[in-house]
Amino acid sequence: MHIDQIILREIPLALREPFRISSGAIHERRILLLELYDRSGARAWSECIAGEAPNYSPETIDTAWIIVEQYAATRLLGRNVEHPGAVHAILERDLRGHQMAKAGLEMGCWGLAATIAEEPLGRFIGGTRSEVDVGISLGIQASPEALVDRARRAVEDGYRKVKIKIEPGRDVEWVRTVRAELGPKPHLMADANNAYTLDDADHLAEFDDLGLIMIEQPLAWDDLVRHAELQRRIRTPICLDESITSLERAQDMVTLGSGRIVNIKPGRVGGFASSIAIHDYCQQAGVPVWCGGMFESGVGRAYNVALASLPNFTIPGDISPSARYWKADVVHPEWTMHDGRIRVPLDTPGIGVAVDEDRIINSAVRTALLRA
Ligand code: OSB
Ligand code: MG
């Protein structure tokens, strides 16, 4: 692989409905897409998941743009890279943090390598599934009744897991209402996005009789030690999202007992090599993993679907179909769900979907062309 050009583009993508989590709301995504060109003429699209504001991680689309443009892309341009598995180390050396910026490039290299190898991305990385189980992430609603209504519709639509965003004042009682209305069967979980402290441990323990499959990231975004203390005080398994930014943090989670499940978002951990390493480590440690989402366009979703085809992704991912997010996605075919599953594209080499290039070029609000 020999990348000689990378194009960055930002496009606006309006959400069908606003999405609110404990740390902020979004109405429209600013999507950062990358296009990588190999010297052979092969090309691949990828996506950087950084958000609009630094309320999930310290990164934003604007910081990611600067890091890719000024520091990271030059390390790959004009350089011969034997295998995409080597890219993570190239980008890590003396470039601290900025996992999302690095991951946009790193994952693009995997997409490009799979394209050149004429293999579907899922198979190229060792995926074994031909379908992945789908969950939905429900933002904080206006009332418990509205939440019950959304959750009921999700179950009727076939989603295999319903994740409920929570915050103080909209937590145990709201989830209890959903459980009471929907019965014991649906797989329910809660995601707090750091809204609590250890002082809330007794309150969080009230989730224990609601049969949740997990509670995601109740405490601070970079914490492991307090999560370990909390896990000793509640029975509901803790799943870490924000806190897991590398293989080492996943190992620390297991060593400290900070959680029992890992949400892997490839963008959050620096890309596919790191995601696969976390997957493999968790598999041998007996820790289930699932693929999280960041309201990606269909391009980022292609990478999540491929990743989730690895064998230890045993819990349904936040990989909903295109229509859950957008009026029209930027890929063809759009991602669709059948019986609560999304098919892993195995007939097409590379990321498995075609990108609507005209629409992306015409709607780009900024573009940067980077050359060797
Ligand atoms: O915590 O998982 C999260 C979206 C934005 C920021 C953080 C999170 C989320 C989601 C979205 O839950 C899941 C999806 O993409 O469907
Ligand atoms: Mg989360």
Q: Which residues surround ligand 2, an ion (CB under 5 A)?
A: 191, 216, 241
How remote is the CA of residue 294 from the centroid of ligand 2, in Å?
9
Is residue 140 within 8 Å of residue 170, measured between CB atoms? yes
Which residues on adjacent β-strands are paired with residue 137?
163
Cβ < 6 Å from ligand 1: which residues?
A: 21, 56, 137, 191, 193, 241, 292-295, 318, 320
Is residue 337 within 8 Å of residue 348, measured between CB atoms? no
Q: Model confidence over 133-159: pLDDT tens digits? A: 999 999 999 999 999 999 999 999 999
Q: Where does the chain have alpha helices with state H?
A: 61-67, 87-92, 99-116, 121-124, 144-157, 172-182, 201-205, 225-233, 247-256, 272-285, 298-307, 322-325, 357-363
What confidence score (pLDDT) does residue 304 get?
A: 98
Protein residue closest via CA to atom 6 of ligand 1: 294
* The pairing of beta strand 261-264 with beta strand 238-240: parallel
3-state secondary structure of 360: helix
* The pairing of beta strand 3-21 with beta strand 43-48: unpaired
Average pLDDT, the chain: 98
How remote is the CA of residue 218 from the centroid of ligand 2, in Å?
9
Q: Catalytic residue at 327?
A: no
Q: Catalytic residue at 165?
A: yes
What confidence score (pLDDT) does residue 303 get?
A: 98
Q: Model confidence over 14-67: pLDDT tens digits? A: 999 999 999 999 999 999 999 999 999 999 999 999 999 999 999 999 999 999
Please give the model's pTM, rounded to 2 decimal places.
Answer: 0.98
CB atoms closer than 10 angstroms to residue 284: 8
> Average pLDDT of 295-315?
98
> Average pLDDT of 347-368?
97
- Domains of the chain are 3-118+356-371 (3.30.390.10), 123-343 (3.20.20.120)
- The first and second tokens of residue 156, run together, are 């009727």
Which residues on adjacent β-strands are paired with residue 263?
290
How remote is the CA of residue 8 from the centroid of ligand 1, in Å?
23
| Distance between first and last Cα of the chain | 14
Give residue 233's identity as a one-letter amino acid code.
R
- How far is residue 68's CA from residue 192's CA, in Å, rounded to a whole number? 30
Q: Model confidence over 223-244: pLDDT tens digits? A: 999 999 999 999 999 999 999 9
What confidence score (pLDDT) does residue 197 get?
A: 98
83 pLDDT tier (thresholds 50, 70, 90): very high
> Average pLDDT of 190-199?
98
Q: Backbone dihedral region of 97: left (phi > 0), alpha (psi from -120 to 50 degrees) or beta?
A: left
DSSP class of residue 84? G
Choice among 102, 161, 163, 165 that is catalytic? 165
Q: Model confidence over 89-108: pLDDT tens digits? A: 999 999 999 999 999 999 99
